[in-house]
Structure 1
Amino acid sequence: MERDTIFALSSGMPPAAIGVVRISGPAAGEALRSLAGRLPEARRAVLAELCDGTGGALDRALILWFPGPATATGEDLAELHLHGGRAVVAAVEAALAVIPGLRRAEAGEFTRRAFLNGRIDLAEAEGLADLLAAETESQRVQALGMASGHVSRAVEDWQDRLLGLMAGAEAELNFADEDDVEVGESVAQRLILGMGELASELDNWLARPAAEVIAEGLSVVIAGPPNAGKSTLINSLARRELAIVSPVAGTTRDVIETPLALDGIAMRFSDTAGLRADGADDIEMIGIDRAKAAVEAADILLWLGAPDAAPSHALCLRIAAQADHWRGDPDAEAAAASCDLILSAATGEGMDTLHAAIVAAARTLLPREGEAALRQRQRAALAEAKDWLTVEARSREASDLILLAERLRLAGGALDRITGRAGVEDMLDTLFGRFCIGK
């Protein structure tokens, strides 16, 4: 069934220096002729007078013509590079809207057509969605790698290796009576070995941080007893009065969260209620329970209490806070010596060191340079593929070529879902709905 021809403003909202209107579909060429009076040479920018259906002048603009299927959407595609004023863009869009067969694009429809026409796969489309939403350097780098096909190339390699293993199994099952075909146990052993190597590689990918950690930001929780300087610290980090600072114990009764970016890494900093066992009323106890839950879920913990009372946490920075209060006190000085760093948010002492320590800890939780993280949907598919490839060497399955071949087929189906070759209809609307109009 032939699709509608769609159009939309694909650049930023006017006013702007240039407004790019994109037209994609079978009637894109006729639409360009209708406005410009001609179809220019393919892939060459040409200056043209644009007019509406009555001959009224619209704009003097650059026009480009891209015949399909070698285009961004896999269809005939036209672009109008207009003067970016509101009135100009509105007039051109109105002229396009009355051309038979044309309609305004829905959110993400251009990218969806690129996917459906095989110009990009599902993993690349998800990367593009993340790239459009990226606000920090780490988000940009991660999303760009996904949109550029980093994950897709890895999946393609795994699929090629699976096909090689499946070919060996099928050859044995269908042509075992031929003299030049491996037979019996040696084939099964080779399959088990190949499946194990591939499962180990998938397991290494699953051990990487999830892409959602990068997109949503690492959780950095500030915790400790009452009056330890937690609220002063988060205010200093946020550079605004986010939390109430008071000498009264129990002032902070809930988790107060603020998004921050340190050295291009998205983080969510949380100030929590002071942790104490006695003297808290019912409302404060609710805050303490929430603080404990936040500590357990934290990616990085900033502990402002006694060093030996710090919760067991893989990434815990023990901080001797409020240094401006206890300088000169021998007992406090001795306790501070056991901490990871000394800090005074009020005077700024140690804040640069804390900044560097948080960033260093965060980098251990992010993919290394050149690595790609997987989204939850992709991780689930990869985990399923790994499970199908994992076979006990001494199990009955290990010597049954029919069962091994079926496991290989199911593993391949799971990998297909990462790039969108199978079983993805249920999430396409949700994915492409994240895009803006014109993408």
Structure 2
Amino acid sequence: MSAPVRRTARLGLVGALTLAVTLLGPAHVPSAGAAGPAATPPPPAKSVVTWAASADRLGDAAGDRSYRLVLRTSTGGKALRIRVSNAFGDRPLVIGSAYAGLHDSGAVLRRGSNKRLTFGDEPSVTLAPGEIRYSDPLPGKVAAMSDLAVSLYVREAGGPASGHGMAMQTSYATSGEHAAEETGGAYTERLGSWFYLDAVTVDADRGAGGVVTLGDSITDGWQSSSDRNLRWPDYLARRLHASPAATVKGVANAGISGNKVLADGAAQSALGRLDRDVLSLPGVRTVVLFEGVNDLKSHSGVTAADLIAGYRDIIDRSHAAGLCVVSGTVLPFKGWSEWDAQAEAVRTEVNEWIRTSGAADAVADFDKVLRSPYDAQRILPTFDGGDHLHPNDKGMQAMADSVALPSLECERG
């Protein structure tokens, strides 16, 4: 395990969450919308994010469709809420009904678990272009590490759809309204994306908080095994759940494949999406910033000074929001088709700055953990997913294991 350099940190002692799942009827909590894809509503009081998947454009939207979206919680708690997104839409999105239940297998739910969600006590909600909304809370409790299925009936939609493209998790879709059904027979289409859902929150134990992993395809989980929750943030969530000393229990994955720090392309840049995908999520204490390889390998002329300026901006804005930042060093990628000596020189300079500048509150030295002792410009073959850029399941676990859990307990001010 690497030893991050911490500026300010506080340790807490809480027991591991052991919460049974009882998803019951709805109660009201105000929700707020906002215009524009960069704007988000204020988070509900006392909530902690238990799952997230950053939204992007997902092609053309279609109405009269039901989606059964499978996900895993990190922290447990009560008053489950979902956050639905029309962040990239250019016309109203009408969600006719929404349900949350326990996933069994395929598109089938555990009997009796599927409960209706409401929005301002109404069973349906209309989201304006760019709008994001929280549901009302479901009374009862949801356990940590639960496999949930959120079912949305999209009554009316058009233009760009909002959602997360590379889920590494099978979800399901069908025509017509089938969100309330617990059987899976109607859901004949298999999906590799999450549509219109970008976060799930719970009211967690007092003192509990969350961490957001801001990254690219490595954080998104590419080359990890699908449908097994083996992305490195998933391994981190399991470590936090098992640790009686950890008060940070919620893990939100804000990785997007191909994402860059500085430039739009595969989604908005990390700078452009920071407010929506990180700072707006409730209960977050710490951000793990682990991006940069896509800026380096794109032959765009990005210098170390450019990338460091981007990191400083993210760190400063996170600090201004009261969050701590753990900065991850950029992994080696020699053997990938876009590798060259110039990009390697920038990576080396950037990693030295991450390790020594003290700009972040702690360092997760992923480069040191995964690089080959025989060629520091390459990932160790044991951890290589096969393309010399993305770690495999073992590499994902090694990354998560290298994060010092006390560094996530860091509090500013």
TM norm structure 2: 0.26
- Determine which structure has more spread, i.e. the larger CA radius of gyration: 1
Asked which structure has the greater RCO (Cα within 8 Å, sep 6+), the reply is: 2
Relative to its length, the structure with more helix (as a share) is: 1
TM norm structure 1: 0.25
